[in-house]
Structure 1
Amino acid sequence: MSTIAFVGLGIMGAPMARHLVDAGHEVLGVNRSRAAVDRFVEAGGTDGGSVAEAVANADVVVTMLPDSPDVASVALGQDGIYANARRGTLHVDCSTIRPDVARQLAEEGARAGVAVVDAPVSGGEAGAKEAALSIMVGGADDDVAAARPVLEKVGKTVVHVGPAGAGQTVKAANQLIVAGTLELVAEAIVFLEAHGVSTEAALEVLGGGLAGSTVLARKGAAMVAREFAPGFRIALHHKDMGIVTAAAREAGVAIPLGAHVAGLVAALHAQGHGDLDHGALLRIVEQLSGRAEEG
Structure 2
Amino acid sequence: MVGGSPADVADASVFIEAWSKKVVHCGAVGAGDATKSINNVLNSAHLLLATEGMLALKKYGVQPSTALEAINGGSGMSLQTTRLPDNVLSRKFAYGFALGLMRKDCKIAGGLVASQTPSATLIPRVVDLLGEAEAAFGPDADYTQIAQLLEDRAGVTLG
TM-score tier by shorter-chain length is: 0.7 to 0.9
Cα distance in 1 for residues equivalent to 2:117 and 2:69: 39
Cα 1:216–1:200 shift into 2, 3 Å: same
Whether the 8 Å CA contact 1:139–1:162 is kept in 2: the answer is yes
Q: Counterpart in 2 of 1:200?
A: 65
Q: Does 1:167 align with 2:65?
A: no
| 1:283 partner letter | Q
| 2:133 partner letter | L
| 2:92 partner letter | E
Whether the 8 Å CA contact 2:2–2:24 is kept in 1: the answer is yes
Cα distance in 1 for residues equivalent to 2:73 and 2:14: 34
Q: Does 1:181 align with 2:46?
A: yes
Q: Counterpart in 2 of 1:27?
A: none
Q: Deviations over 1:129-165 (max 9, x none)?
A: xxxxxxx110111121122233233223211110111
- Relative contact order, higher structure (CA 8 A, sep 6+): 2
| 2:97 partner letter | F
Cα distance in 2 for residues equivalent to 1:149 and 1:219: 35
Q: How many residues align?
A: 157
Cα distance in 2 for residues equivalent to 1:274 and 1:186: 20
Q: Which has the larger Rg?
A: 1
- 1:3-152 to structure 2, matched below 5 A, reads 136-152=1-17
CA RMSD of aligned residues (A): 1.9
Deviation at 1:273, TM superposition (A): 3.1
Q: Deviations over 1:68-94 (max 9, x none)?
A: xxxxxxxxxxxxxxxxxxxxxxxxxxx
Q: Deviations over 1:48-68 (max 9, x none)?
A: xxxxxxxxxxxxxxxxxxxxx
Cα distance in 2 for residues equivalent to 1:182 and 1:192: 15
Q: Does 1:257 align with 2:122?
A: yes
Whether the 8 Å CA contact 2:94–2:144 is kept in 1: the answer is no
Q: Does 1:225 align with 2:90?
A: yes
Whether the 8 Å CA contact 2:87–2:94 is kept in 1: the answer is no
Unaligned runs of 5+ in 2: none
Sequence identity (%): 31
2:79 to 205, 214, 218: 214
Q: TM-score, normalised by structure 1?
A: 0.49
More helix by share: 2
Cα 1:190–1:172 shift into 2, 3 Å: same
Whether the 8 Å CA contact 1:222–1:228 is kept in 2: the answer is yes
Q: TM-score, normalised by structure 2?
A: 0.86
Q: Counterpart in 2 of 1:237?
A: 102
SS of aligned partner of 1:157: coil
Q: Counterpart in 2 of 1:281?
A: 146
Cα distance in 1 for residues equivalent to 2:68 and 2:20: 27
Unaligned runs of 5+ in 1: 1-135
